[in-house]
Structure 1
Amino acid sequence: MGIPHISRTAQRTALTGLVSLAFATTGLVAAGSVQAADVSASATPHVKRLCSQPTKHRVMACKALARTDIVQPHALTVNAVSPLAVPSGYGPSDLLSAYKLPANGGAGATIAIVDAQDDPNAESDLAAYRSQYGLPACTTANGCFSKIDQNGGTNYPTADAGWAGEISLDLDMVSAIAPNAHILLVESSTANMSDLGTAVNTAVAQGAKYVSNSYGGSEDSSDLTADNQYFKHPGVAITVSAGDSAYGAEYPAASQYVTSVGGTALKRDSSTRGWSESVWHTNSTEGTGSGCSAYDPKPSWQTDSGCSKRAISDVSAVADPATGVAVYDSYQASGWNVYGGTSASAPIIAGVYALAGTPGTGDYPSKYPYAHTSALNDVTSGSNGTCSPSYLCTAGAGYDGPTGLGTPNGTTAFATGGSTGGGSALTNGTFEAGTLSGWTSTGSAAAGTDAAHTGSYGALVGSSSPTNTSSIAQTFTAPAGSSKVSFAYDVTCPDTVTYDWATATLKDNTTGTTTTVLPKTCTSGAGWKTASGSLTAGHSYTLTLTNKDDDYAGDETYTYYDDVTVS
């Protein structure tokens, strides 16, 4: 039987009067911004690695770390959650707050989790986590969750407690960030790179556009072959943990085709953001990985000068077990736990990519953050060791190894062309929410799968039945570094431009001027085209996408709009 749902309101009410719980001194809070139980039993938290360090080349280890010094509140049991207690560790609302992400995102996306060995309790543990935090059910029965072996079947590998904990962490983090996404768990037969790589290929073949990998091992000369065999998937966002052993490059985080994800310590503070981050580093053998690859070439979008090959990392997110996340894991484990490691940050970033919309065809999404550095939280303090040049192990303004370009600040930095799924510029510009969320509509307008230019959804403005004027509009502020707004459109207009048309206008609310970015257009069968208008950073704009039909039966006009981006 699953965990009974306890509303966040009930949790808040009960917790307000609960004075016997010790309060967190590391800044951890539970869902609903209610302080959780003590997670800092010592100045240096006691942790254990869920997977043993590999002793052979091409064998990977999971990157999950479990706190061993956390005692959950007395009222919190494995089989039920009392309204008098919440799990220790950050919950979904904390992560969405810290990274300025939209709630209830991920509709239309499939996020794949690739791990080794089997977690027999994966689906039931996922249900426990999502029930506790009020997230929608994600089950095999409702089509949201599926588990397959590395070849796409159901011949699951041998169960393993360590990898089961990793699987729980990964499933819970993508649930926290993108609760409406479908989740595909692909379990490889062993922790060998060849089996894990086969699982990555299977995930992509199954249609996943976002693939999270929370494992790694030492580099070797065969990495370039593995790159081409397993990770060269343009149009797919593949995230990989940078490692948990402090300074030093690992594979597959060093792959030129993936987004390597470093780790931070995340704490609440009194700043405007409400949070602060620094490099996660506990000691010489524990902290976020980073470094300069010995084998993989430098991607064209990386421009740091102190590493002639691929530098690690690209971006980062919370990973410090001292500021860890709540996870439910019951396979040879106690249920609620506090986990950390870059095993947490990789699925978080995979979820952010899913919120940002479908990657562009032919793109390697690891390049997106490099085009929108101002749309990230730059982490400037801390180090994970000693190195030369120092930026590969020490945080500073701009790019550095341990935290890359920074942590998410909305979704702008993770979207093709800079469109956002809920960040500081356009909301739902790719319509991958499956709705017109973020847009104001008039007349006949809806999001639909038939209207997609890329991804799963686009906007249908007008109708195949007689209508009048229909439109969708959104007001946004052009972020620093942006210079244009673009969109794709496809008009079906069997009449003439005298009576029916598509058009688009861009009003600069700061100056009061309006520009026509798509003149009146009436075509049929011309297919998708693009239009764009110029922006001035810092100005407020209203973009209006319109379809005009003269309400005459027999020549109905309608227009598909998609991929509205700010860049």
Structure 2
Amino acid sequence: MLSRRRRAATAAALLSTTALISTGWLTVTASAAPSAGGAPHVKHLCAHATAPGHVACLAEARTDLVQHLTVSPHTTPSGYGPSDLQSAYKLPSSTAGSGRTVAIVDAMDDPNAESDLAAYRSQYNLPACTTANGCFKKVDQTGGTTYPSADSGWAGEISLDLDMVSAVCPQCHITLVEASSTSMTDIGTAENKAVALGAKYVSNSFGGTEDPSDTTADVQYFNHPGVAITVSAGDSGYGVEYPASSPYVTAVGGTSLSRASNTRGWSESVWSTNSTEGTGSGCSADEAKPTWQSDTGCGKRTVADVSAVADPATGVAVYNTYGASGWDVYGGTSASAPLIAATYALAGTPTANSYPSSYPYGHGSALNDVTTGNDGTCSTSYLCTAGTGYDGPTGLGTPNGTTAFSGGATAVNSLQPGRKLTSGHRLSSANITLTMGSDGNLVAYLKTNGTSGSGPAIWSSHTSGHTGAYAYMQSDGNLVVYSSTGSALWSTHTNGHSGAYLLVQDDGNMVVYGAGGGPSTGGSLWSDGTYARSTKIGSGQKLHGGWWAQTQYTRLVMQPDGNFVIYRKHDGKAIWSSRTSGHTGAYAYMQSDGNLVVYSSTGSALWSTHTNGHSGAYALLQSDGNFVVYSSTGGPGKGGALWSGNTRSYVP
């Protein structure tokens, strides 16, 4: 039994500690500095997800560190803090990120999320991020405040995620979106809500087993062009998890990070504690390979893309009080995913309609290449073993500044010098997918509802019949389609311009630009001319194959096969056509006499609106989905309709 004096002293200490907590001055004494030398004792905050369609958080907490509560405001918590991470990865955290919002998607509720975040940021003298000052926002998966049930494991995950975003981008705003459960349906709903709320950077620190149905979830929940979505690669060693394997996200692997007496001041290796604990990596069983990946040992999606610190032995400081005692050292790829999301935020707003997961592949030299360590054994060594250049466990490497995470001409919609587009691979922008077909034809398709589905073809290289052909953006500036035997089948004739590249633009045009050129700077060397046109077709205007225009609900296309077609945008269904397919080279002509006619390449009339005799008439693809020929003085709300495709009833 305690003596009266000892009981009094204990009570006084507890009162003092309570006061310190309320004022935000509670700290812990620093334990030994992080070290990769020994295997720490850790606990997984969430049980592994074993059922398809469910995920588990991937945070790991140290259990072998004694955290001493003290009254000193000058003591540093154990684990790497903001200054360490900013130094290790050369991040402009003090000058970039202001006003940008990083969203954190997690399952379940952390009732102490905002107060714990305040304690972390106060400890490291970071600017306050609260609901009151508009920096922090917490919502449920529908955007409301009916939060799900609290869970201590996920609360630790949430604290880790919030603290890592704060450490890397202290000027960023943070939105926490809490899913009602660990099911992919709820997680996906939260993902979509995060994007709908305006976040351009979304972090996901969870994963589960791969399943063939994941390809459906990809389109429903993770296909958000113009948004940087990061996902933890996994904590169970070699092997692939979902949604890290989605081709629409940046899969983030894990490293061990230690101080070093080199120029950088730090060194990294693959995080692997043992055969069942370490960063995930490998070759997806179900997901298609993104066009920006060119490794040859995996025919499908390879994990990971990039990496950052995740080893609990070299872990990060986290403050969490829901089901925990406060300061601790955490690890897992749950640490690296939000770190990379915040790095994207420092880099700037992603290019509209691009996939930011492609950005690092155009800037490999702007990353720290991790070349040592492995996360298991595999038959294709680079999928589990680090080496020079790309490898599975660490991807292209770790941040070395923000260059590798910024958009521009190196995004998914470009083919850079020295790169090939082989059978089945494609480039993609907001409205166009350029695909290298298995038959050897390079074809540009209009997308359906923002996806790369099989919309109408508007251009091709006319090189079908050459199985195994590929497109090659040569270093001399020429884009060439070669046969499998090396014979040139087609080219843009732009040789002599070293450093030129191909860009599939959001407006639908495909352009070869000279080095340093682009949509805003000029320097066009070749164009296929498939950009979207005005929805008004004026008197005397001719529409050749590849011409197209669109409104909110419909798309009007003069196809290279001779058919003039109106498509419903949301599902790609043809709702009207001139029925003139099979006439390659045909064109539509809005004649000065008022008649809209489709002519064959030899000048034979194939179809018309029979509206001749109305000089100056014009055609209009209306916002309500209807296609109408109006007299020269008519128009929507004015009357004067001479002919209509009657397509209004096919759209909402």
Would the TM-score normalized by the shorter structure come out above 0.5?
yes
Counterpart AA for 1:258: V
99, 112, 117: which one pairs with 1:121?
Answer: 112
69, 72, 75: which one pairs with 2:67?
Answer: 72
Q: Is 1:63 aligned to 2:58, yes or no? A: yes
Q: Give CA deviations for 1:512-532 in whole Å, capped at 9, x if unaligned.
A: xxxxx99xxxxxxxxx97227
Counterpart AA for 2:314: T
Which residue does the alignment assign to 2:390? 399
Counterpart AA for 1:136: P
Structure 1 residues 393 and 529: alpha-carbon distance in aligned structure 2, compared to 1, 3 A threshold: closer
Rounded to whole Å, the distance in 1 between the matches of 2:34 and 2:297 is: 38
Deviation at 1:274, TM superposition (A): 0.1
Please state whether the residue corresponding to 2:219 is helix, strand or coil.
helix
Aligned length: 403
CA contact (8 A) 2:46 2:56 kept: yes
Q: Within 5 Å, give how 1:299-318 maps onto structure 2.
A: 299-318=290-309
Rounded to whole Å, the distance in 1 between the matches of 2:61 and 2:163 is: 14
Please state whether the residue corresponding to 1:263 is helix, strand or coil.
strand
Structure 1 residues 383 and 173: alpha-carbon distance in aligned structure 2, compared to 1, 3 A threshold: same
Rounded to whole Å, the distance in 1 between the matches of 2:296 and 2:157 is: 35
Rounded to whole Å, the distance in 1 between the matches of 2:127 and 2:519 is: 37
Please state whether the residue corresponding to 1:114 is helix, strand or coil.
strand
Which residue does the alignment assign to 1:91? 81
Which residue does the alignment assign to 1:156? 147
Rounded to whole Å, the distance in 1 between the matches of 2:372 and 2:54 is: 33
Counterpart AA for 1:412: T
Which residue does the alignment assign to 2:265? 274
170, 176, 183: which one pairs with 1:179?
Answer: 170
Q: Give CA deviations for 1:233-272 in whole Å, capped at 9, x if unaligned.
A: 0000000000000000100000000000000000001000
Please state whether the residue corresponding to 2:307 is helix, strand or coil.
strand
Rounded to whole Å, the distance in 2 between the matches of 1:418 and 1:262 is: 25
Q: Give CA deviations for 1:396-442 in whole Å, capped at 9, x if unaligned.
A: 000000000000000000001289xxxxxxxxxxxxxxxxxxxxxxx
Q: Within 5 Å, give how 1:41-440 maps onto structure 2.
A: 43-75=38-70, 82-104=72-94, 105-417=96-408
Larger Rg: 2
CA contact (8 A) 2:31 2:67 kept: no
Rounded to whole Å, the distance in 2 between the matches of 1:266 and 1:529 is: 40
Structure 1 residues 86 and 301: alpha-carbon distance in aligned structure 2, compared to 1, 3 A threshold: same
Rounded to whole Å, the distance in 2 between the matches of 1:260 and 1:171 is: 19
Rounded to whole Å, the distance in 2 between the matches of 1:109 and 1:235 is: 14
Counterpart AA for 2:79: G
Greater length-normalized contact order (CA 8 Å, ≥ 6 residues apart): 1
Counterpart AA for 1:414: F
CA contact (8 A) 1:368 1:418 kept: no
Deviation at 1:125, TM superposition (A): 0.3
Please state whether the residue corresponding to 1:530 is helix, strand or coil.
coil
What TM-score do you get using the length of structure 1 for normalisation?
0.68
CA contact (8 A) 2:317 2:330 kept: yes
Counterpart AA for 1:379: V
Runs of at least 4 residues of structure 1 off by over 6 A? none
Please state whether the residue corresponding to 2:280 is helix, strand or coil.
coil
Rounded to whole Å, the distance in 1 between the matches of 2:284 and 2:346 is: 30
Deviation at 1:108, TM superposition (A): 2.2
Rounded to whole Å, the distance in 1 between the matches of 2:133 and 2:110 is: 20
Rounded to whole Å, the distance in 2 between the matches of 1:388 and 1:347 is: 31
**Overall identity of the aligned pairs, in %:** 69
Q: Give CA deviations for 1:307-357 in whole Å, capped at 9, x if unaligned.
A: 000000000000000000000000010100100000000000000000000
Rounded to whole Å, the distance in 1 between the matches of 2:208 and 2:301 is: 16
Deviation at 1:165, TM superposition (A): 0.2
What TM-score do you get using the length of structure 2 for normalisation?
0.59
Structure 1 residues 53 and 84: alpha-carbon distance in aligned structure 2, compared to 1, 3 A threshold: same
Rounded to whole Å, the distance in 1 between the matches of 2:519 and 2:220 is: 34
Deviation at 1:187, TM superposition (A): 0.2
**Structure 2 stretches lacking a partner, 5+ long:** 1-18, 411-497, 501-515, 524-652
CA contact (8 A) 1:3 1:132 kept: no
Q: Within 5 Å, give how 1:396-545 maps onto structure 2.
A: 396-417=387-408, 530-531=520-521
Deviation at 1:5, TM superposition (A): 6.3
CA contact (8 A) 1:261 1:317 kept: yes
What is the root-mean-square deviation of aligned Cα atoms in Å? 2.5
Counterpart AA for 2:374: S
Please state whether the residue corresponding to 2:342 is helix, strand or coil.
helix
Counterpart AA for 2:33: A
Rounded to whole Å, the distance in 2 between the matches of 1:61 and 1:332 is: 18
Please state whether the residue corresponding to 1:296 is helix, strand or coil.
strand
Structure 1 residues 23 and 45: alpha-carbon distance in aligned structure 2, compared to 1, 3 A threshold: closer
Rounded to whole Å, the distance in 1 between the matches of 2:102 and 2:124 is: 20
Structure 1 residues 21 and 92: alpha-carbon distance in aligned structure 2, compared to 1, 3 A threshold: closer
Deviation at 1:74, TM superposition (A): 4.6
Rounded to whole Å, the distance in 1 between the matches of 2:291 and 2:352 is: 18
Please state whether the residue corresponding to 2:230 is helix, strand or coil.
strand
